[in-house]
Amino acid sequence: MAAEYSIVTPQDVAPNQPAVFLDAPCPCNEGLVFKKSGGVFLLSSQASGGSCNCGNGCNRANRKLFMTDYGVEIHMNIQIPTGGTVEEIQFALYQDGVADPASVMIAVPAAVEEPANVGTSVVVSVPSICGCESVALVNTSAQTVTIVNGSLRFSYEGVRRIR
């Protein structure tokens, strides 16, 4: 099971804001990946028949029973828009509002409007006791960055017991 999302027209993403992807040309029909709003996605720990039952308050102390894993692949061309400053630009995958250090993608274009290709592949684990985790691809740069094109793919990896 996989769900793919894309950015096909140039998109300016302000600092600390998520990139907004188009609906999936290859949709997830298993009830596991949901596009929430803007650039935020919900990954479910189990198929829930078309809606994500994320609960009202997760008992984080009991997270250690089962985890549902998703492989996340990100590929995109990013650049500094006209009027920007040539410096390091970066994006990261945020899980429940926190950047995953393994997902940070960094580019240092030589000039404004010069695209650089970045990509990464990470695993996002969703605690079964909690139901869902929110994920978003966020501009962690100090300035606006343009995504020239991009793709985001979620692949269901399975469930594992960790306790």
| Residue 13 lies inside a defined structural domain of this protein | yes
Is 104 part of a structural domain of the chain? yes
Contact at 8 Å (CB) between 11 and 19? yes
Query: What is the number of domains present in the chain?
Result: 1
Is residue 58 in some structural domain?
Answer: no
The whole-number average pLDDT for the span 66-81 is 93
Query: In the chain, what is the greatest distance between 2 CA atoms, to the nearest angstrom?
Result: 52
Instruction: Please report whether residue 89 resides in a domain.
Output: yes
Least confident of 28-42, 46-60, 110-124, 126-140: 46-60
pLDDT for 27: 55
- At residue 60, the 3 state secondary structure works out as helix
- Residue 78 CA to residue 89 CA, distance in Å, equals 8
Is the pLDDT at 49 greater than 60? The verdict is no
The values of phi and psi at residue 41, to 5°, are -120, 150
**One-letter identity of residue 42:** L
Do the domain assignments include residue 54? no
Question: Domain with 128 in it: what CATH number?
Answer: 2.60.120.40
Q: Is residue 76 part of a domain?
A: yes
40 pLDDT exceeds 80?
A: yes
Residue 50's region, left for phi above 0, alpha for psi from -120 to 50, else beta, is left
Q: What is the pLDDT of residue 156?
A: 86
pLDDT number for residue 143: 97
Owning domain of residue 84: 2-48+64-161
